[in-house]
Structure 1
Amino acid sequence: MIKISVLEYLKKMMTGTLKNHVTSMKYPTAISKTLKMNIIEIDHGKATVEIAADHEIHGNQQGTVHGGLLCELADAAIGTAHSTIIGENESFTSLEFKINFFRPVWKDSLKAIAKPVQSGKTITVYNCEIKSTDGKTIALATSTVMTLRGDKAIGR
């Protein structure tokens, strides 16, 4: 097995060139597989995650796509973005997550674009914009993420 960085691993995963490669994080994640989310763009501290949202599968009682799905999509993009900037023996946790919903969705391919607003040694704040295929903003999430080191990173 060849151990590589998360960023390198995700780039290889996206291009189908993974062979005997491993990384410190688990990709694709179980929740991403369950919800059929895909990473479509990746860079240092940035990630775009896509989902085919459909009210028939992901609907709420009003008949639109559930806001919880939008939260998960944004959280997945933010977590993926952050996993590209942490070190080998580090992990991370969300300290805060907030989302504003602007438009309902019934059926669309949604993209969550996450990038840092402020990146420090321990605390990073992200914005994540969820966009529809016509480029309209569906929701905007912000999250504060803390990088864990040493004993705090073990088993996470």
Structure 2
Amino acid sequence: MSVSNDEIMPGVAAIGGFGPIPIAAYHEMTGLEILRAIISGDLPAPPISKVLTFALTEADEGRVVFRGVPKTDYLNPGGTVHGGWTATIMDSALACVVHSVLKKGEALATTEFKVNMLRPVLPDMGELSCEANIVSRGRTIGVSEARLTDSRGRLLAFGTETCSIFPARAKS
């Protein structure tokens, strides 16, 4: 699979390029506004999305969807996609759904996550979908759940995550 410089995977481009979100955005936008700005290209996509060929494609308050294409570059010695790829797309969706409920001036960090891998992920599976939903949003803790499925809707993995919510760093 060949991709252009701004393409994350076939059909999904990082219109706003790649890079970190400016700290000012955390003070001027809600978490959901930031996620939607990444999708629209008004803010850059995270560099890891290009490296691991997955992207945030939908964002609503309390629900996000990532889509990804596992590649042969991610194979482990056993010939399946390394569990780290699965864990990373899951962690991304799980944290971003908590991000979708952040207020202006808030940030988050993953404090714990668990992923159960039910089926092997293979590079010939094509595009996979990881949908995450918020379970609980408290003052300082957010909890989420997610499911990774193939194009036929088969469950490949599911997981949960806890994120700490705290004030965003001061603007530089």
Q: Which residue identity lines up with residue 121 of structure 1 in the other structure?
A: R
Answer yes or no: is 1:123 the counterpart of 2:148: no
In the TM superposition, structure 1's runs of 4+ consecutive aligned residues that sit over 4 Å from their partners are none
Partners of 2:36 and 2:67 in 1: how far apart?
Answer: 16
TM alignment of 1:39-78, pairs within 5 A:
39-54=56-71, 56-78=72-94
- Tell me the secondary structure at the aligned position of residue 87 of structure 2: helix
Task: Return closer, same or farther for 1:73/1:121 CA change in 2, 3 Å cut-off.
Answer: same
Alignment RMSD (CA, Å): 2.2
> CA offsets, 1:109-143, max 9 Å, x none?
11111111222121121111001111010001111
User: Higher strand fraction: Structure 1 or Structure 2?
Assistant: 1
Structure 1 equivalent of residue 120 of structure 2: 104
Note the residue ranges of structure 1 that are not aligned, 5 or more in a row.
none
Partners of 2:142 and 2:161 in 1: how far apart?
Answer: 8
Answer yes or no: is 1:154 the counterpart of 2:172: no
Percent identity between the aligned chains?
A: 28
TM-score by length of 1: 0.81
Deviation for aligned residue 1:146: 1.2
- Tell me the secondary structure at the aligned position of residue 53 of structure 1: coil
Q: Which residue identity lines up with residue 7 of structure 1 in the other structure?
A: L
> CA offsets, 1:57-107, max 9 Å, x none?
111111001111000001111222122211222111111111111001212
